Each structure stands twice: as structure tokens, then as C-alpha cells.
Structure 1
Amino acid sequence: MLKINRENLKTSHQLIWFIIDFLMLGLLIINLAFIIFDSIYNFTGVQNLLAEHAPLVKELYHPIHENFLFYDLIFVSIFLTEFVVRWGYAIKAKVYDRWYFYPFIHWYDIIGCIPVGSFRFLRVLRVISIIYRLHQYKVIDVTQTRAFQFFNFYYEAFMEELSDRIVIKVLSGAQDEIRMGSPLFERIQNDILYPRRDMLSDWVSQRVADAAREGYIPNRGALRSYLETRVDNALKQNLELSRLKYLPVVGPTIQETLEEAVGDIVANVIHQILEDLASASNHAFIEDIVNVFLPSPENEEENDVHNEALINLIVEVLEAVKSQVRVKHWRSELT
């Protein structure tokens, strides 16, 4: 049900124009209903049906039908008068830059007033324009009507289906071109990724540093204990090291000292690696890794080695995008 916001209507500075809009909207609906009924009445079969089952209706309406143009011109004269009044107001208020812009912008009002054939049905555009204007000024809210929600749902579903098919078709074409060695791959690698190699290095370096800082440093003690335990167990299972305990006097001492030293060395090496990754000093290391994946375009032989992996990566990324595009969001609204 279309509700009128009376507060916005009263507080608006265009109250008189909104009242005219409502009057014109009512006249347009009556006029369009009149045109539709007369178009149906124009069929001989309909006239015979009325003559048989509702002769009074035929007797009353038939003179109107014969003078349909006259009655329609009454509506047209009202519509044209309203059009001229609005045009004059637009000139006085300087709504548009030029005085003659109004009829060009509101062309549907003029064409709809032509009392010939299908031009009459263009008055529907004027109905739409009035409803849109009232909705724009929040006098009415079209979005809350069942008719709007019904048509908008199927419009959105249609547009989603159409756009999904187009996007999937485009992405599938891009995948095929990349697999066949299209210049698209070289453009992605040489014109997009390679010029941004420093930016990628900075971004990856920062992400690695954040991950190491947040994941390792708070758990440094637990990780050290875990590493020492694992190294100790590994050394005890080593056959050559276990033979040291059979050395007279100093064997068990050497074995224990060696186990502690190896465990401490491994823990310190891992600790230093993660400390470096958590600091800005990891940038050179990350940059070397990025350079391996994105070598200079001049190194053609080196590029050929990595092209296949990069192609597969891009194809899989596009496939993931296609999978997401295939999700039908409009179906979830039906449940």
C-alpha cells in the first residue's frame, strides 16, 4: 500500500506543486483507464458482447466512443496547461540554464499529449516521472510497496544472472588466453607485477614481520622449550652419539654436554631467524624471494622456468573468482 508522508508534504516548500502532482496523477490514471477501455471497446466482438449482456452500458458509452477524440482532447488541454505553467515557473525560478531546456528535458510530456494512436500510451511515462519525483522528495516511498518489491526482486535476479554469465564468460576467455600464451600473461607479469616488485616486497616484508612479531615473540619461551625437547629426543635416538656414554669416565659428561650444546645452538638459530623476520632486516631476504618469483623481463631463460607456475597461479585465482561469481545471492532471499 502506497503511504503519503504527511509531515514531509506539509513542511515542503513545494506543497502546491505536490498537490498539482497528485491531481495530475489522478487525471492520468483516469485518462489511461479511459484509453484502455476505449481500445477494448473498439473491437466489434466486445460491442456485440456488451449489446447482448449489458445493453445499458453500450447505450451509454457508444456516443462517448464515437466522440472519443473530443473527450481525450479535454484531458490533453489540462495536461498542456499544466505543462505550460510548470515551464513558466521553471523560467522564473531559473531551474535550467536556458529557458528552452524545459520542453527538451520533459519531452515525454509533449509527445504523450499527441492524441494519435500509440502516442497516448506514452502518458505512462508521465505517471512514472510524477511518482519518481514524489519519491525523490520523500512524500511517498515506492520501495515499500509490494509491486515495487516484486518487480525489483526479479529485476535484480535477472541482472545478477546476466552479469554472472558475462563475467564468467570473460574470465573463462582470459583463462584460455593465458594458457595459450596470450600477451595478456606477459602484460600481467611485465607491466603490472614487475613494476610493483618493490611495493610487493615491502608489503610481504611487513606482513611477515607482523606475523613473526605477533606469533613468535609472545610464545618465545614455549617454542624454545619445545625445540630443546625435540633436539634432545633426536640426539638420544642417534646411535653414534649414544656410544659416547661407553667411554670411561668422561663419556656420559661429553654426551650430556653435547646434547645441551646442540639443543642450545638449534634454539638460538631458530630464535635469531624469527627475530630477524620480526624486524625490518627481513626486507632484503623477502626481496630476494620476490625477485625469484618476479625476475627481470630481460632474463628470458629464467622467466621461462617460472612462467608455468605463474600461469597456473593466475588461472587458479581466476577460477576462484568464477566460483564466487557463480553464487546466486538472489536465491537466498527466497528462503
Structure 2
Amino acid sequence: MPEPATTEPVFKAEIVGKETVADGVCLLTLRPYDDVPAWTPGAHVDLLLAPGLVRQYSLCGDPADREHLRVAVLEQPDGRGGSLHVHRGLEIGGTLELRGPRNHFALVDAPAYLFVAGGIGITPLLPMIREIEARRLPWRLLYGGRVLASMAFTAELTELGGDRVTLRPQDVHGLLDLPAALSSVPAGTAVYACGPEPLLTALERARKDFPSLSLRTERFSPRETQAEGPDEAFEVELARSGRTVEVSAKETLLDALERAGVAPASSCGEGTCGTCETVVLDGAPDHRDCLLTEDEQTAGGIMFPCVSRARSPRLVLDL
């Protein structure tokens, strides 16, 4: 397979901390050998764990910490191997390669905030909550998990927010009451949510009854019912090289770019990580990712070729 045409810089970091912060949740503290890259709440990094094993994890530390990066990883024995490698294969004193950070889940300005977390979905929300608290803006957190012991950072969150933090382990309280949470916040509130797909799907449905609230989500996996158009052939013009690539109905845009040796870096192949973000100069993308909001999709300035295609016969990409 040809090498990607564009890649983000890879940097190395020493593993200086590894601790259990909840049942099945490991917190890694990494110290880059060079300058810590700047990042904002909601950002994630790629961990290059082994050849062919790249995983994305949200940064949950403090953006003002210029010495360390922190990620929390849930062990998933039936997963694809990344979490097991972190939990069982990494040791303090070892070295990791990282790529990023990048942020497709950034905070927007709002008069108030509601954060909704399911399990390990608390990780990108934790730096957001610290930031909003520092700004002295109103916020609330609804945080669910299987059992209380499986929910990371509960002591820190409760100390930070007091009764603004609602902990709802499922074994005691059942599923989160999302309509009640949405009805309890004022119009204009920005709702940020991260967690398993059933939670996010239920939240999207509930939010339809509260049109004054904006909702941004970060997913671990594609939507259960991802809207798609027909898989038709189309043409891609590469603005930098002047080349044209034909994309058949049976291959992804990323496959076609890789075949031509001009692909951006990629990782998840599901439209959830953002690694393959590509600038669109002309044409109408058929967005099938889980990252862009409706407004961002309408703007059409970027796309993710691992899953997205074209609604127009031709796209012009900044490649």
C-alpha cells in the first residue's frame, strides 16, 4: 500500500505514570521528550501502540500542563486489542509514539453547559468542565456508568461541582433520565455528550423536544443508523498535483486515494477519529462521518474520505 501523502508529525513520550482510577480504567501519564503540543478541551491523540495498532484516546489532563499528557483507557477484553495493549503491555519507563493532538469536539461559547457522560465518555468532558468552571459559567454534569466503582474521576468531579454533579450508576438508578436533564437547563444551553452509542442515540432523540438546546457528541463507534446516499462512482481532482482519480462505486474515497498514493493519514476507517480530515475546495461531499455538525456539513469545507463520498459528479480536494 502506498504511504499517505500527508501525515501529522509523530512525537515520542515517556510513560511516567500508570494507575487504576476506576474498575477497568487505567490512567496513563506521558511526558513528551520535546515540547508538549498545545491542545484544548475535547482534543484527542493517537497512540501508536504497535505496527498496525493505532488508537485514539481523549486527553483528560490540564491543557496548561506543559510537561505531561494524560489519557484514561477502559479495558475491553472483547475489543480490537488497543485497550488490552495499554493495560497489559505498557509499563512505566517505556516509550510511546503519539500523533496529534486534534480536536473535533471543541467547546463553543454558550451561556450555560450541560455535560452528559456514559462510562469512559467522561474523559473528554473532564477538561471541559474544568475550563467552564474556571470561566465561572453555569454548568451541570449527568454522569452514568454500570456501577459507581467503574466511574472514573467521581471524587474530583464532586469536589469541583458539588450538587451540580449528578452520579447515576445504572445498577442503582437504571438508565439516565435524559428528558429530565434537558428540561432542567435554560434555553441556549450547550449540551456536550460522550459515551456508548445507545446513550448518544437516546440523547439525540430526546433533544428534538428541546430545539433551543445545541448538542455536540463524540462517539466511540459509528451511529447505529448512519445516513448514507447511494454508492455511485465519482471523480476527484487533486488540486496540488493536478491529478484526477476515479472512485468506483465499490471502493471508498480513501481506498482510491491510497491506490493513487496520495491519501491523507488515516486510522479508524469509521469516520469517528478525524485523522483523515481533508479540505474540500469544490464540489458537494456526501458526509457520512460522526464528527461534523449539520452546519459544518452544510459548509462543506472539510470531509473524511474513509467514509464520506460525493453528492456531485466531481470533487476538488486540497491534496
Between Structure 1 and Structure 2, the one with more helix by share is 1
TM above 0.5, one fold? no
TM-score, with structure 1 as normaliser: 0.18
Report the structure, 1 or 2, having the larger strand content.
2
- Tell me which structure has the larger Cα radius of gyration: 1
Which is bigger in relative contact order (C-alpha 8 A, separation at least 6)? 1
